[in-house]
Structure 1
C-alpha cells in the first residue's frame, strides 16, 4: 500500500539524535512510500532525492500566526494520508492546526523527557523512543520504537591506524599507550560532560571528547584546573564520529537526561563496552553494573573502571548481537510503517 506521508521536523539548526532519527527514518520510508518533509532550509541536503523537501523557517515561535498558516496551507496542499510530528514543537504546531486537517491521521513522537505530554495526544498514535517516555500515554495510543542506526562502516586495520595516528599528531600530549575513553555529544548542560571530566581524575586513561557547544571553553578550563591536559583531547564536531567510535575502549554517556541515546546504539553496533549514568533508554539495555546514578562522579568513575576491565566484553557480547538485530533503521522504519497502516485501516 503506497502512502503519502509528511514528516515535520520543527527544529532549526541542531544536529542531535532527534534530527538524525528524522533524517534516517524519512530517507528509509522514501524507498517505498511518497515522502514529504517540512523542515528548516538548513536540513535540505540531509534528505535523499526520493524525498520532496518543503522549506519552512521553524526558528519562528510556535505561536507565530504566519508559521501556523504556512504549515496548514502546505499540508492542505500536499493532502497526505499521514502527518508525523517529530518532538514537542512539531506536535504543538499540529495541535493548533488540527481542526483544519480533519481527514488526516496524525502521529507524534516523543524524543525526550517531558513533564507534560498532553501536546503529543493530538496524535492518533504516539510513538515513544523508550519505555520510560511512554509512561502517561493512554495504552490505545502508545507505541515504543527504539531509535535505530545504519550498520557501522567496515574499517580496515590500516584505516583505523591512520585515524589514530592523525589524532595523535593533533594531540601529541596524549600517551598513545593508554586506553581510550570516548564521549560523543553536544557540549551543553544536559550532557553533563563536566561530570565525566571530574570522574576521569581517578582513571589512568585518555579521554576524547567529540562534539562542540556553548560549554567548550568552561570544560577546557576545568581540564586545565584539574591538571589532566595530558589525558584529555577536545576533538570538536567531527563528521567521522561513526568511524572514530571504533577506536574506543569504552564509550561513556554522562547525561542528566536522555530519550533513547543514539550514542549507545552506535557504541553497541560497534562492539564497544559502555559506561553511563542512569538515563532513559540506557536502563532498558545496559547491565546494571555499568550504570551510575545521575550526577555521581565517584559512581561514574567506578563504572568506567569496571568497563575498562577485559571481562566487560563478556557482559556485553549478547547485547552487541541484539543491537545489530533490533536497533537498526530498517527495524525502526518497519515498525513505524505498521503503525501508519494500522491507522489507515481504522
Structure 2
C-alpha cells in the first residue's frame, strides 16, 4: 500500500484527539500517506465519520486486558497485511500498542508517537494511568519522533523522564470555517433549541470528567446569572446530559431562571460552535483543547482557564482566568458579552486570523511532511 500511515489510537470515542486524527487523516496529507486506523477499544463514537471519509478502521475490541492474548494474532496479521511505512501511535495507550505493532511488523517502519494529554499530578494518582506512563517512559527511546500537541505536555513528559532527543511540538490542525455556512448554522441551532435569534449564547463542548471541572463551570453560570446578566448556555459532550447522576445535583442547585441546554454527545460540533457568541472552558488540565481552537477558527471569542498552552494560543483574542475561580470566570463572561458587538466581532476575526497563521490544518500538514522528510533522511543515513 505504498506510503501507508497506520494510526494506532486508544478508541474512536467522541473527543478532541479523535477529531484531530480525523482532520489529519482526511486531509490532503492522506495523498502522500494513505491512512489506516487501528482502534484498541470498541466504543460508540466517531466511527461513522471515519467511514464517510473513506478511512479503513480496524477495531480490536481490547475492552479488558484478559482479551489481549486473543487479539495479538489478529494484530500480527493486520500489520503484516497492511505493510505500513509509518506507524503513528495516538494517545498514551495507542503509543504503547503502536510500539508493539512496530515490533510485530518485521520490516521496521518509521515509528511515531502522538501525545495528546498533559499528565499532571492528579493523573499520576490513578494507578492505571501511572503504570501506562511508567511503561511509556521506558519505551520512549524507540520512536523516531514523539509529537506533542503542546509545550506544556512536552515539558511534563520531560519531567517524568521521557526521552526528549526526538521530541517536537505540532499542534492539532484546525480547518478554517466557512462564513456562509456559519451564518446558516447560527440560525438553525437557535431554531432547534428554541433560542431567540437575538439571545446571547455561551457554550462549552466538553466532557464530564474531573479535569474539565464542570462544577466550577456551573458555579460560574450561577454567579453570572445572579449578577443580573441574561444568556443561554449550551453544554455538549460525553456526560453532559440530564441522565448523568453526577450532574443532576449540580443542575438542581441552579436557579430555575437559568437557561441551560444539555445536548450530550453530538457529532455536529462545528455547527454548534457557529451558533455561539462566546466559547468557554473551565478545565483544570489540558494539552491543546480542540474545542477552543475550533471556536477561534469560526471567529468565536473564548473565555478559558489558564492551563496547558491555552493562554498562548488564545492570547489577546479572548480572556484567560485562573483555574477553579468561578467568580473570575463569571466576570470574564460578563465582561466580554457586555462589549459592543463590533468589539466582539473584531476579537473573533483576530482569533480566526491567529488560527489561520499558527494552527491551521495546512500548517500542521507542512510540519508533518518536514518531520517525516527528516526522519526518512536520518533513517537512510544510518541504515
TM-score by structure 2 length? 0.78
What is the CA-CA distance between 1:109 and the residue it aligns to?
Answer: 0.4
**Distance change (3 Å), C-alpha of 1:161 and 1:196:** same
1:250-275 deviation digits (Å, cap 9, x = unpaired) = 11011122120111111101111111
Alignment equivalent of 1:180, drawn from 201, 210, 216: 201
Q: Is the 8 A contact 1:8 1:37 kept in 2?
A: yes
1:238-295 deviation digits (Å, cap 9, x = unpaired) = 3333112222111101112212011111110111111111121312212377112222
CA distance in 1, matches of 2:209, 2:165: 36
What is the CA-CA distance between 1:298 and the residue it aligns to?
Answer: 1.6
CA distance in 2, matches of 1:214, 1:67: 33
Match of 2:235 in 1: 209
**Distance change (3 Å), C-alpha of 1:324 and 1:140:** same
Q: Is the 8 A contact 2:9 2:95 kept in 1?
A: no
CA distance in 2, matches of 1:214, 1:163: 17
Q: Secondary structure at the match of 2:153?
A: helix
What is the CA-CA distance between 1:27 and the residue it aligns to?
Answer: 2.0
Match of 2:125 in 1: none
Residue 148 of structure 2 corresponds to residue 128 of structure 1? yes
CA distance in 2, matches of 1:230, 1:101: 56
Match of 2:261 in 1: 233
**Distance change (3 Å), C-alpha of 1:68 and 1:340:** farther
Q: Is the 8 A contact 1:287 1:315 kept in 2?
A: no
**Distance change (3 Å), C-alpha of 1:214 and 1:245:** closer
What is the CA-CA distance between 1:85 and the residue it aligns to?
Answer: 0.6
Q: Secondary structure at the match of 1:226?
A: coil
**Distance change (3 Å), C-alpha of 1:14 and 1:55:** closer
Alignment equivalent of 1:303, drawn from 327, 332, 356: 332
1:115-165 deviation digits (Å, cap 9, x = unpaired) = 645144431100000111122155531111111222324327565334312
Match of 2:114 in 1: 109
Match of 1:291 in 2: 320
Q: Is the 8 A contact 2:305 2:320 kept in 1?
A: yes
Q: Is the 8 A contact 1:259 1:281 kept in 2?
A: yes
CA distance in 1, matches of 2:267, 2:84: 34
Match of 1:6 in 2: 6
CA distance in 2, matches of 1:156, 1:273: 15
Q: Secondary structure at the match of 2:314?
A: coil
CA distance in 2, matches of 1:214, 1:207: 12
Match of 1:21 in 2: 20
What is the CA-CA distance between 1:88 and the residue it aligns to?
Answer: 0.5
**Distance change (3 Å), C-alpha of 1:244 and 1:68:** same
Match of 1:342 in 2: 374
Unaligned runs of 5+ in 1: 169-173
Q: Is the 8 A contact 1:251 1:274 kept in 2?
A: yes
CA distance in 1, matches of 2:101, 2:251: 49
Q: Is the 8 A contact 1:149 1:328 kept in 2?
A: yes
CA distance in 1, matches of 2:348, 2:181: 21
Residue 170 of structure 2 corresponds to residue 145 of structure 1? yes
Match of 2:123 in 1: none
1:175-197 deviation digits (Å, cap 9, x = unpaired) = 77542211112233322222111
What is the CA-CA distance between 1:303 and the residue it aligns to?
Answer: 2.1
**Distance change (3 Å), C-alpha of 1:52 and 1:262:** same
Q: Secondary structure at the match of 1:122?
A: coil
TM-score by structure 1 length? 0.86
Match of 2:128 in 1: none
Cα-Cα RMSD: 2.8
**Distance change (3 Å), C-alpha of 1:93 and 1:239:** closer
Q: Is the 8 A contact 1:208 1:235 kept in 2?
A: yes
CA distance in 1, matches of 2:47, 2:199: 41
Moved more, 235-244 or 194-203: 235-244
CA distance in 2, matches of 1:235, 1:162: 15
Match of 1:171 in 2: none
**Distance change (3 Å), C-alpha of 1:164 and 1:331:** same
**Distance change (3 Å), C-alpha of 1:20 and 1:156:** closer
**Distance change (3 Å), C-alpha of 1:101 and 1:62:** farther
What is the CA-CA distance between 1:49 and the residue it aligns to?
Answer: 6.1
